[in-house]
Structure 1
Amino acid sequence: MFHIPSTVRRPLAVAGAAVVGLAAAVVLGQAPASAHHPEVSGTATCVDGKWQVAWEVANSEQDLAGDIVSATFDPTFESDTIKAGATLPAFAGDASLLKATQTLDANVTKASLSVEAHWKRGRKDHSATRGATVNIPKGGCRTSKPAVAFTDDCAGQVTVVVSNGSEATGRLRYKVLVGDKEITKGIVEIGKSSEPFVVPASEDETPVKVVVTSRDKVIGEHTWEGPEGGCEPEVAVDQTCDDLSISVTNPPEGLEFEVVFTPSTGEPQTMKVEKGKTATVTFPASDGLTVTPSIGGEDLDPIAWTKPEGCDEDTPTLPLTGANTGAIAGSAGGLLVLGGAVFYVARRRRLRFTA
């Protein structure tokens, strides 16, 4: 029998254990890479003396959507897309990514995002947390150039903020113009910003155009377009054999106003429409029922109740909450008009209320 000297056996045993361990690491190490997890990334760019991070969150899974359990930004930032409760779509390219843009001051040097997500695959729950940290672009984002920020509201107004560059050589004198008319003027110190100034909506309801100049040179101009989330409320009608319900959903930046709904039979009802909320009024159904909305005494197109199919049968019928083509077709065009009319009439009359 061939005997391996003891002086050689020990090194060989150690080497063998190392090989086994390496093989196990290769096999087992693949599991975390394919495990369920969010993939977080961010890209930094300089913008007008500040910087922005374009955050993206992807799903590691191509066949299963997940849920965002928590999303923590540092510095603090509220996102409409990357947030707790949001769905993380199964990965299918760029369109499936959750995206958000965070704007930071030039004195902030880094930003981070941590995302915890959850998946349910069969009977098993999977959770994982991933994050990313992004640094300000190399060299910083200070600028000597002035900048102007414009913010639209649903009343047709534009809020203007003028900023002087952090590396400017002197104070910034500026004027805010609408057409040829000077609305206001001011001075901004180096590295500072002006107080917000609100340019009122135009009297003829055309979008107001704002121009900001410094030493007769245009440094910013903007025409009112409305907030990104839109301003027109959504109007929905739910018709059953017993009721006609009308709901108005106001966008987060929408105008606050009151609508009076007057039925052809019965008492009028007043709806208070608040920002970012849905309000509903309900009327008992009857043959020939119409409900006319009005704002500030100005009537809009009436909404008619159409009896759903099956209401005359002896057997009980379920309430109609889905699409009823026959019942809704007659008022669909009116609903499209009503949403826009509610917004434009409310904007013109500047109606607001305190709940």
Structure 2
Amino acid sequence: MIRTRASLRRPLAVLGAAFLGLTAAVAVAAPASAHHTTITATADCDGLTGERVITWTVENSERDKAATLKTVTADPATPVNLAADASKPLEGAVVPKGGSVQAVQRVPGDTATAKLTVYALWKKNGQDRTNDGSINLGGDKPCTPAPKCVDASKAKYSHTFDGPKGTATVKLDGDLPLCGESKQWFTLVSYFAPRPQFATPQYVYGTPDSDWIGGTQTEIDLKVDIPDCHTQVDLIWGGTDEIIDPLVEGGKRYGDKKLGSKGAPGNRSTGPQGWYNGGDKSCTTPAATFASNCDGTVTVSLSNDGKISKYPVEFEVRGENGWSKKVTVEPGKADNGTVVPAENAGKVEVLVDGKVIEDGSYSWQRPEDCPLPTITTKADCENFTLTATNPEGGLPVKVVFTYGKETETRTVQPGDSETVTFKAGKEETALVVLPELELEMEAVYAPEGDCGGGGGGEEPGLPVTGAAAGGIAAGAVALLALGAVLFLMARRRRVRFTA
């Protein structure tokens, strides 16, 4: 609103008002025939200081007389100085004939109205007059200083994220730093995971990388190692105290703390979703070793103690004829107690998740140190007797005895013996075959003494030694107390000894 006031000796006349610039006021001091000053104003905002800057214009109504501004009163009462020379006040300034002067006043940014009153004297004819002008600032937004920093609670960020590589960056948006000593932490963390999709439990892998933005540090780079197996990588809002280890079923989750989330605080950073699930290998190290036993069984040892074994492993051990057994081995542990029965040990497989593991197939093989059966003989003038003895702890052994045209077959159980007796004939040798061990032996019929006087001899046990299934490459000679016996073994070669 613009007001015009004359001295008590002069009539008061209101001429009009207008807004200039942001807000401007025009005041006319008196009728056109009277000496007066007209005061108008415009206002602006100083973004650095937050002050309103009012520019007052005082115009002289007289074209042939200059006016001196003897008194200047401002409301608010802040300095009003000449625009042309800010070191000089408006008070005392001379308004030229038909001209004007400008002055600048700074007022608080929330000022609603401002008023300027001047008392002017025209020395040429002694005329004087007091006029005022005002400006309404209430319709404008308050003037506030430009911020020099950004409050940490309102700061915005942008980020990059590469889960498979384990890298991320976070940057403070805008040109202003965080205010004061404020710091905002961000953390990158990787996990062992049981699946390439989200699944629990998960365990932190390696050392998480955590850093902060604040002061002159407005951008950070983060990097973590990734396990050589299924993994999850998360870029989270906060420091290492925010890390959840382990992530378990029904436990805490990061939720919107992950950068790039839809909710706060993760949505205060723009960029890709800050989480990744992947990896093409299991975070376990299942392994199996096999040992053949003399009794035909296979002992399977299972282990889950590799470098990346973080989860229990359920093994399945399969044998022939549908035999199967499942064994769960905890991380860092082993199980050595799985025995595949002899009748199922022809082909053994170890599976995890339905697939045969590396080096997980095996078939029973006769150990080289298994005790072999022994053959003993007894001969006289009427009979030729042969006995096969099978040591304990082995497999049943099939023995074929042949003397002349007669053949007898026996199966000798472990820890037992089988004996056959042939009528003595003209043949000088008997053939003893152990087909499963690929052994053949010749027993020489040599009764002691004069058959006319009877009597005979008995050979003590002759151990069958060596590795049969892999072939026999050496021989042995034994001189027995009751008779000389030659004991020579070779693959599919005969061993000849004397009875």
Q: Which has the higher contact order (CA 8 A, sep 6+)?
A: 1
Q: TM above 0.5, one fold?
A: no
Question: Which protein has the larger Cα radius of gyration, Structure 1 or Structure 2?
Answer: 2
**How does the TM-score come out when normalised to structure 2?**
0.27
**How does the TM-score come out when normalised to structure 1?**
0.35
